[in-house]
Structure 1
């Protein structure tokens, strides 16, 4: 996170600095489990935006 926030390169996300870590999720023991967790997170985010 420190490296990302202090990068001298002007990238798309640099205008949103400083980035702050707000959550950590377990990734699961397989790619399928990790993708299921990611899908769940995205679904919750989308649901919050429409509420």
Structure 2
């Protein structure tokens, strides 16, 4: 946790799926979310972690 922000279950689920599929496009199809929604959640995780994700 950084400040008042937490990584939500939804954000974590997106991160895991993108890591597994190595594709935002494929992850969006599996999770039934738009590609921009996946990118936004992934970006939020990156910011909370202070930079990059795996």
Fold in common (TM above 0.5)? no
TM-score, structure 1 length as denominator? Answer: 0.38
Larger gyration radius, structure 1 or structure 2: 1
TM-score, structure 2 length as denominator? Answer: 0.37
Higher relative contact order, structure no. (Cα contacts within 8 Å, ≥ 6 residues apart): 2
- Say which structure is richer in helix: 2
